[in-house]
Amino acid sequence: MSELLGIAILILFGALFAMSEISIAASRKIKLRVMSDEGDERAEAVIRLQEQPGRFFAMIQIALNAIAILGGIIGEQTLTPYTSKLVALIYTGPLAEQISFLLSFLAITSLFILFADLLPKRIAMIMPEAVAAKIVGLMNIITYALTPLVMFFNSITNLVLRIFKVPTVREDIVTTEDIVAMMDAGAEHGSLRQQEYQLLGNVFELEGRTLPTTMTTRDAIVYFDLKDDSATISAKILEHPHNHFLVCDGHLDRVVGSVESKQILRQLLKGEPAHLQESIIQKELFYLPETLTLSEALNEFKSTKQPFAIVVNEYAMIVGLVTLKDLMNNFMGDLINTHGEEQIVQRDSNSWLVDGVTPTVDLIKLLNIEAFPDNNQYETIAGFLIYTLKRIPKRTDYVVHSGYKFEAIDVDGIRVEQLLVTRLTDLSALKSADGTVD
């Protein structure tokens, strides 16, 4: 009975060390940080152990190998007499001793594989952080107790790793891809609601999108000219009820300031004609380069009280106008109601009417397609068509990409106003206008 008890104790310790090895290795640092912030000091101890795992794994391997050797010696001596009696009931020939030894070996091996290896490791994989937090204190004590052996084997291991120029310490860096993968897993599992998933996704998009994808383009900017009369000013406000208007001297590249529409309305309510007097023109303007990402633009808005920014290119030409509301709309996405003409209108299950200035990232998200080729060369779907064709498109010119046909259906001079995007079912007979299919 003492020998059977010894085997049970060895299996128990084997299970403990197997659980420790898997749980420490599999514990997620983000989850451990959360536990640590909530006051769990054991989680912090697990993090420290993960940062310097060499001594711990040296101790684990010493313990597991010692248990395996002792288990083989004790197990064979303990079980062989019992297996010999069982074999004798059936067979008493010259191979009886060898058969008894083989049966005792298989029995003790099966016990250790099942109860000292598979089951504890499965438990540790299911809840690694909880298991690691419970056993980290005991593992640190055992590591300290085996310090001479641990230091010896750990030093040799580090020496071999350095010879082969392999890092001796794990760099646990959480990348954007890791966070996105966790978001996808959370959404699939249901622990992350669709609204939360969409908001987080929009946050990461702020780093990948530049101002041209959300600004009001140059040709759509409505501004007041210093020479505008009262009727012209009133008509512009009625047709375009914006809060702020640029004030220019002759043309858009000669901006002198901005004016709030309520200042004009105040004049009209007093019975005065609308006019751009010096006192209501705000001279201080806010400029942003078109190369900024939406995230960088948000940071710039934090440092100013201006409600909008004039977007300029490298030649100091005005290319657009962006408001703080535009940036927030990109962050909130479909979670807020937007008024105005939609850039993408679905005609049926396989076709969409798309405004030429629609950012390509919006179509990637909507159609669930691969990224457009050389997408650092353009921002909009019209830009993709022009870049691919290497010329200004004409009506009915098209490009095929990722199983979709992008066809220009409304071209105003050199401007692609609208495209028809169609999902294709048969690509074999169809090529893009330049003779290729992406």
Number of neighbouring beta carbons within 10 Å of residue 246: 21
For 123-157, write each residue's pLDDT tens digit: 999 999 999 999 999 999 999 999 999 999 989 98
b (16+ CB within 10 A) / e for 184-204: eeebeeeebeeeeebebebee
Quick one: CA dihedral 305, 309, 310, 312, positive or negative?
A: positive
Q: By CB neighbour count within 10 A (0-12 exposed, 13-18 middle, 19+ buried), where does 209 fall?
A: buried
CA neighbor of 53 nearest in space, from 131, 121, 143: 143
Query: Which residues does 17 contact at the CB level (< 8 Å), separation at least 6?
Result: 60, 63, 64, 67
Using CA atoms, how far apart are residues 142 and 328, in angstroms rounded to an integer? 55
Using CA atoms, how far apart are residues 323 and 215, in angstroms rounded to an integer? 8
pTM: 0.57
Which part of the chain has CATH 3.10.580.10? 211-333
Strands (E), 221-374: 223-225, 244-248, 255-260, 287-289, 308-312, 318-323, 344-348, 351-355
Using CA atoms, how far apart are residues 16 and 290, in angstroms rounded to an integer? 59
CA neighbor of 295 nearest in space, from 207, 231, 376: 207
DSSP, residue by residue, 338-362: --S--SEEEEETTEEEEETT-BHHH
Select the CATH number that applies to the domain covering 211-333 from these four: 3.10.580.10, 3.30.428.10, 3.10.105.10, 3.40.50.920: 3.10.580.10
Q: Compute φ and ψ for 18, nearest 5 degrees.
A: -65, -45
DSSP lists the bridge partners of residue 321 as 216, 310
What is the token pair recorded at 63?
Answer: 């313990």
The pLDDT value given to residue 51: 84
Question: What is the C-alpha radius of gyration for the chain, rounded to an integer number of angstroms?
Answer: 36
Which part of the chain has CATH 3.30.465.10? 344-423
Distances (CA, A) of 431 to 156, 177, 275, 405, 410: 62, 34, 57, 9, 21
The pLDDT value given to residue 306: 87
CATH 3.30.465.10, applies to 344-423 = yes
DSSP, residue by residue, 65-87: HHHHHHHHHHHHHHHHHHHHHHH
Amino acid at 297: A
The pLDDT value given to residue 334: 52
Residues of the chain with pLDDT under 50: 335-340, 429, 432-437
- DSSP 8-state assignment for residue 199: H
Is-contact 294 211, C-beta < 8 A?
A: yes
Distances (CA, A) of 26 to 30, 31, 131, 147: 12, 11, 10, 24
Using CA atoms, how far apart are residues 184 and 34, in angstroms rounded to an integer? 20
Strands (E), 138-188: none
CA neighbor of 244 nearest in space, from 228, 230, 257: 257
The pLDDT value given to residue 381: 92
256 by DSSP, 3-state: which? strand
The pLDDT value given to residue 339: 46
The pLDDT value given to residue 98: 86
